[in-house]
Amino acid sequence: MKTHAKAIVIGGGVVGCSVLYHLAKAGWKDIILIERSELTSGSSWHAAGGFHTLNGDPNMAKLQAYTVGLYKELEELSGQSCSLHLTGGIMMADSSERMDFLRMTHARGRCLGMETELITPSEAKEMFPLMDETHFVGALWDPVEGHLDPSGTTHAYAKAAQVLGAEIELRNPVLEITQNSDGMWNVITKNGTISTEHVVNAGGLWAREVGRMVGLELPLLAMEHMYLLTDEMPEVIDFNSETGRELVGVIDFKGEIYTRQERNGLLLGTYEKACKPWSPINTPWDFGHELLQPDLDRITPSLEVGFKHFPAFEKAGIKQVINGPFTFSPDGNPLIGPVPGLTNYWSACAVMAGFSQGGGVGLALANWMVNDDPGFDVFAMDVARFGEWATLRYTNAKVRENYSKRFSISFPNEELPAARPQQTTPLYDIMLNENFAVMGDTWGLETPLWFAPSKKEAHDVLSFHRSNDFEHVASEVEAVRNSVGVTEISNFAKYEISGEDAEIFLDYLMTNNMPKLGQIILTPMLNENGKLIGDFTIAKEANNRFLLFGSLSATKYHMRWFEKHMPLYKSLKIKRYDMNLHGLSIVGPNARNVLQELVDEDISNLKFKFMCFRKMNVNGAPCMINRLSYSGDLGYEIWMAPEYQRKVYYGIKDKGSKFNIKDFGMRALLSMRLEKNFPSWFAELRPIYGPYESGMERFIKINKSKFIGQTAAKKELLNGPNICRTSFIIDADTSDAMGNEPIWAKTKKTYNLIDPPHKYGAHRYDADGNEISAANPQKKDGWQVVGWVTSGGYAHSIKASMAQGYIPADLSKITQKDMFEIEILGKRCPCQIVIAPPFDPSGRRMKS
């Protein structure tokens, strides 16, 4: 056995084999996959083998499109068949809400160059005659779906990797992992020890155990999953002989069922509500190629719906029931990337749809290992997206929720209840019981979204349209814009960066110049490719000490970046405040009047200017104050230790009462930032956009001393951005844009901004094996899809529906009417570009 390797991939399921293949394809030599038994000895061998491209997150959808397109390449290189059946698939809607969801999915698909189609129940029945179409109101057809042989596919990855020089060691469990002081890993196996630069955890069902070998508790859990195989069915055989085609795949959301043809019968699987975790704490090492005991009682409610919706199924005999476990993360997306706090330990775990996502996961991870960048926007599956709060029990509750809701409608205003509250601030009970807040979950923290008039009304009515919060958010915005409001802002990430090297460190990581003492700056952070990986507010608190405020959900993602660059600086300390620092923001024209009554010094505009920082006692409590607000109004962000938060809050409410101060929530804040054209992290600002594309030029000091991403940013500036962040006012009716809607333009010039999946190396084939053309399918009657929405909503003080999105730069200054449309829930709504912020364009209010 070898004693040294560049990289060791632990686990020979579909994911580990894909990572190995992509590392070999990227040119890495000396890479070994170690499998404790035979390939596919975890969840991969008994998968139902279904694959599809649609995903709620467009970045995930791109990686799925890549995966599906990869199989032909794998077959050619490996000589191993994947038994591909590209049948296409339909999603059935049984209600108007589900139809709204399908319309939204269809529209979002346009931004990815997908050719989905909304069809009637009778058209769906022609594709799948075994259904009783009277139970449905419509359907969505996706030609790029199908199924394959899971074992053949895993072996195809493995063989293709071997063709490219990678090695595979079977029947050799990894028992232990240690790390030397020089960073090299020792992977201790049954057959000996191998030292390696990189370790990839692709342990699937045992990923938690492989994580624990290095002191890591990965947030993932295996769930039992059942599917049935029927005997031969005459209806299936007749359809095949009459049409010469295989049946398409079907998802029936109402029954939580997926079904497709398997040989001459059907395969039918369920994502049942009464779901069951498997091995919640430890996965037994002696589990192998065996199945779990079927439990048909658990899936009976789904089967009963299935019998009604697909009557032929009730008559069919059941040949076999498969019950097998596979792993999920709390939000159902994979956990991939460099594990924060460890060097060269990579996660490729919790891939719940290995045959839709495995290729993309392998590609992104290999890019990351080889080029130091995943090459795509993979935040949705970054292992760094969960904090320490994602404990074993939290994960257990969230995974069960996620599994049982897999085929339920996700509404844009939906806050999922499982495992909540996980983290609360001292104001939590006051917000709930005195103020009737409807709370949301930000990175495990309870945060007020909006305030209802009574406890009874304090809940969201789930909808794709404007809902019961609308009028209350409107009145919160009105109070802020006309007088004053207070909101909790503990859901920011807060860090202290200190030491003699603090300033040069920040100067190197950030694009803006660092602030002078007592001042604040806003600054993006770029990666080496000049793409946005952060957006911070930085205050200089003292010499050699800075406070950073950023996105709470990106805390570990940002810490991983900081820690990567820290070793270059000797005298540097980074402190994560997390919930040791809480925040309140007072906003509105009377904000100063309220604060002045609570502090002992002059805070007139002359003494405490916009973008300044001060330490002050507020209502007698030691606080730090930033003079700014995301609402675009006069405002103060006040930071205090948790034990002072109630005191400060009550003080603000008391002194604010004569100005009719009102509590406002995140939804009002987001509405106010829209009418100021302010971007938001994770929506407009993501690692696929450049600083000039996103309109952040004010904060890029391109000629300052060297900073990460400077060369790429200079190039972007020199060539001019290709796309531009743009704000729109939309002539919408009862629904606002939510994100990922297509933006149409009436233009003769052809834009190829919307990548067909081919862009990602994916090739698509029809049922006869012919490649589907790469032409932009999203052109109609002189209109074409030229961009996508990143976020939207109702801007209450200007009383208009607004959205931001990206479109080609040469279109982004055209303000004429009848030129653009945004497709909301299947309806193309006229919209118009707004260049200056519609609310307070000069910024006078926040500065004076």
Ligand X SMILES: Cc1cc2nc3c(=O)[nH]c(=O)nc-3n(C[C@H](O)[C@H](O)[C@H](O)COP(=O)(O)OP(=O)(O)OC[C@H]3O[C@@H](n4cnc5c(N)ncnc54)[C@H](O)[C@@H]3O)c2cc1C
Where on the chain is the footprint of ligand X (CB under 6 A)?
A: 10-16, 34-37, 41-44, 46-51, 173-174, 202-206, 210, 225, 227, 322, 324-326, 351-356
Pick 36 or 673: Cβ nearer ligand X: 36
Residue of 356, 147, 150 whose CA lies nearest to 260: 147
Pick 15 or 24: Cβ nearer ligand X: 15
User: Which uninterrupted H or E stretch holds 503?
Assistant: helix 502-509
Pick 42 or 635: Cβ nearer ligand X: 42
| Pairs from 240-247 (Cβ < 8 Å, separation ≥ 24) | 240/264, 245/87, 245/767, 246/85, 246/87, 246/767, 247/87, 247/127, 247/128, 247/130
Pick 148 or 713: Cβ nearer ligand X: 148
| Spatial CB neighbours of 92, under 8 Å, sequence gap ≥ 6 | 121, 124, 131, 136, 139, 250, 251, 252, 253, 254, 309
Residue 143 C-beta: closest distance to ligand X, Å: 18
Pick 357 or 511: Cβ nearer ligand X: 357
| Contact status, residue 91 vs residue 251, Cβ threshold 8 Å | yes
Burial of 717 (0-12, 13-18, 19+ CB in 10 A): middle
Pick 46 or 540: Cβ nearer ligand X: 46
Residue 388 C-beta: closest distance to ligand X, Å: 24
Q: Which two tokens stand for residue 660?
A: 């009719």
Residue 168 C-beta: closest distance to ligand X, Å: 11
Pick 18 or 447: Cβ nearer ligand X: 18
Residue 719 C-beta: closest distance to ligand X, Å: 40
Residue of 426, 397, 376 whose CA lies nearest to 649: 426
Pick 223 or 548: Cβ nearer ligand X: 223
Residue 8 C-beta: closest distance to ligand X, Å: 10
Residue of 495, 349, 383 whose CA lies nearest to 43: 349
Pick 36 or 662: Cβ nearer ligand X: 36
Residue 278 C-beta: closest distance to ligand X, Å: 9
Pick 174 or 708: Cβ nearer ligand X: 174
Pick 242 or 286: Cβ nearer ligand X: 286
| Contact status, residue 748 vs residue 479, Cβ threshold 8 Å | no
- Cα 615 to Cα 463, 503, 601, 608, distances in angstroms: 44, 20, 11, 11
| Spatial CB neighbours of 286, under 8 Å, sequence gap ≥ 6 | none
Backbone φ and ψ for 51, nearest 5 degrees, come out as -140, 155
Pick 204 or 588: Cβ nearer ligand X: 204
Residue 145 C-beta: closest distance to ligand X, Å: 11
Pick 222 or 489: Cβ nearer ligand X: 222
- Read off the amino acid at residue 380: A
Q: Residue 170, CB half-sphere, CA atoms under 13 Å: how many?
A: 9
Q: Where are the alpha helices (DSSP H) in 179-294?
A: 207-212, 234-243
Pick 51 or 561: Cβ nearer ligand X: 51
Residue 344 C-beta: closest distance to ligand X, Å: 18
Residue 326 C-beta: closest distance to ligand X, Å: 4
Residue 125 C-beta: closest distance to ligand X, Å: 24
- What span, in angstroms and rounded, lies between the C-alpha atoms of 292 and 688? 43
Q: Which two tokens stand for residue 14?
A: 């579909």
Residue 325 C-beta: closest distance to ligand X, Å: 6
Q: What is the DSSP letter of 555?
A: H
**What DSSP assignment string belongs to 280-334?**
SS---TT--S--PPP-HHHHHHHHHHHHHHSHHHHHSPEEEEEEEEEEE-TTSS-
Q: Which residue has the tokens 């962000």?
A: 637
Residue 201 C-beta: closest distance to ligand X, Å: 9
Q: How far is CA 3 from the centre of its chain?
A: 39
- What span, in angstroms and rounded, lies between the C-alpha atoms of 575 and 561? 14
Residue 225 C-beta: closest distance to ligand X, Å: 4
| Contact status, residue 412 vs residue 104, Cβ threshold 8 Å | no
Residue 758 C-beta: closest distance to ligand X, Å: 22
- Read off the amino acid at residue 500: E
Backbone φ and ψ for 699, nearest 5 degrees, come out as -105, 10
